[in-house]
Amino acid sequence: MPVTQQRPPAIGLAWADAYAAARDLPTALPAETCAPEDAHGRTLAEPLLAAAPVPAFDAAAMDGYAVAGPGPWQVAGLILAGTPDPALLAAGTAAEIATGAPVPANTEAVLPYEDCHVDGATVHGARGPRTHIRRAGDDVEPGALIVPAGRTLTATRVAAAVQAGVEQVRVHRRPSVTLLVTGDEVVLAGRPGPGQVRDSFTGIVAAVTTRAGGALEHSRHVGDNPAELRKALDRADTDVIVVSGSSSAGAADHLHALLDERGAEWHVRGVASRPGHPQALASLPGGRWVVSLPGNPYAGMVSTLTLLEPLLGTLAGRPPATLPAVPVTGSAKLMPGGVRIAPQRNGVLLPPGGSAGLAAVADADSLAVLSDNWTEGDPAPQLIMP
């Protein structure tokens, strides 16, 4: 059963408004031209149209004999796949042919092996209602729409483009990302020593960035020093800068002051959610975006899914995302005036963990966003785990 926490109402932007701001404020990055094979995972800026017919030529749909004129037919040759421009058949002759091989221009039908028999060099059989010939353009005519604009190019769509003779596509540029992992206590590799913690942000940010159509170009560790963070912010030349930690108001939290120095416009500055309250979204003069993640790993992952993923999806040219909602059962401590974000598996809430630990969410399917008036069995929006 849900239990409402006895705390004052949360301060910060409503979670749904924060998610919507990250999704709706940016505009798609400009389009560029590339080969279909280089466009996997990117979003079409223009419709993808066939450049050539599919099939590109009249081809045998079965293994058998290509025939011309009335039978029986005398076998006059063999045509295999890849044979260029096979010679015409004289009336009353046949050519043994493989599936996918081009048929001579005057072929009237292909007789499958199972529908005929061969006596020496003579083919006997009766033509049925089907010709077993795939005519050029039967599947796709030149100029036909293969994939509309705004769709992501999957491996299947890339293959369809290549099959239809497409050599170039117009896609939105991938949003580039720099991750700054802050904290003197953070180590990037090896077992942490006393007072240290391992970086658990890079893998999550990389996975979400790729899923949203972006590219994580740089991941750097930055100590709790304002001059060091200032230098890292200024040298980051990517579309998006993600900063883990340095997000609150403690002695080691310098990000907000540094962004204010640079004339940042704040779109989200605190969210009414548990975990993930200190998350923030800002834009810098010149067009770069900054996503501020809380330093606690679970809270940081929640913020990555709340702000970074919808931001990158829009920059990548993807249509606005609508989160799935599923009925959820179980017990949760609800948050007055905000949302509780809790792990769930198969529609059942899992035992809660703290904002720092990831073990509690490692076995979850998704994170359920529970409003303060949620009751057991109600649908809740789902943040899909990376």
Give pLDDT, residue 6: 45
Comparison of pLDDT for 41 and 359, the residue scoring more = 41
- Which of 64-73, 186-195, 240-249, 355-364 is modeled with the greatest confidence? 64-73
Cα 291 from Cα 19, distance rounded (Å): 12
The predicted-structure confidence for 269-303, as pLDDT tens digits, reads as follows 999 999 999 999 999 999 999 999 998 899 999 99
DSSP 8-state secondary structure symbol assigned to residue 362: T
The predicted-structure confidence for 35-48, as pLDDT tens digits, reads as follows 999 999 999 999 99
Listed residue (104, 42, 68) closest to 316, CA to CA: 42
φ, ψ (nearest 5 deg) of residue 53: -70, 155
Comparison of pLDDT for 295 and 80, the residue scoring more = 80
Q: Which residue has the tokens 């008036």?
A: 373
φ, ψ (nearest 5 deg) of residue 345: -135, 130
Instruction: Specify which residues 32 forms β-bridges with.
Output: 171
Is the previous residue joined to 275 through a cis bond, with omega within 30 degrees of 0? yes
Q: Which residue has the tokens 């953070």?
A: 186
pTM: 0.85
Region of poorest pLDDT, from 97-106, 180-189, 365-374: 180-189
Cα 48 from Cα 158, distance rounded (Å): 10
Q: Which two tokens stand for residue 59?
A: 């081809």
Report the pLDDT averaged over residues 307-322.
95
pLDDT at 99 over 90: yes
The predicted-structure confidence for 231-257, as pLDDT tens digits, reads as follows 999 999 999 999 998 776 655 568 999
Provide the pLDDT confidence category of residue 193 given band limits of 50, 70 and 90. Answer: confident
Report the pLDDT averaged over residues 3-9.
47
pLDDT at 348 over 70: yes
3-state percent helix, strand, coil for the chain, nearest multiple of 5: 20, 30, 50
Q: Where are the beta strands (DSSP E) in 109-168?
A: 109-112, 116-119, 122-125, 133-134, 145-147
Strands 176-182 and 240-244: parallel
Give pLDDT, residue 121: 93
Contact 259/243 with Cβ under 8 angstroms? no
Q: Which residue has the tokens 């959820």?
A: 328
φ, ψ (nearest 5 deg) of residue 137: 85, 5
210: burial class by Cβ within 10 Å (0-12, 13-18, 19+)?
middle
pLDDT at 203 over 70: yes
Provide the pLDDT confidence category of residue 8 given band limits of 50, 70 and 90. Answer: very low
Listed residue (313, 380, 368, 386) closest to 23, CA to CA: 313
Give pLDDT, residue 359: 81
Listed residue (375, 254, 366, 352) closest to 301, CA to CA: 366
Q: Give alpha helix (H) positions in 262-373.
A: 297-303, 309-315
Give pLDDT, residue 190: 78
pLDDT at 72 over 50: yes
Contact 312/212 with Cβ under 8 angstroms? yes
DSSP 8-state secondary structure symbol assigned to residue 304: I
Instruction: Specify which residues 68 forms β-bridges with.
Output: 93
251, 272, 327 from 16: Cα distances, Å: 30, 10, 18
Q: Which residue has the tokens 């590799």?
A: 189
Cα 100 from Cα 81, distance rounded (Å): 6
Provide the pLDDT confidence category of residue 184 given band limits of 50, 70 and 90. Answer: confident
pLDDT at 51 over 70: yes
- Is residue 326 helix, strand or coil? strand
Q: Which residues contact 140 (CB under 8 A, 6 or more apart)?
A: 50, 53, 54, 146, 164
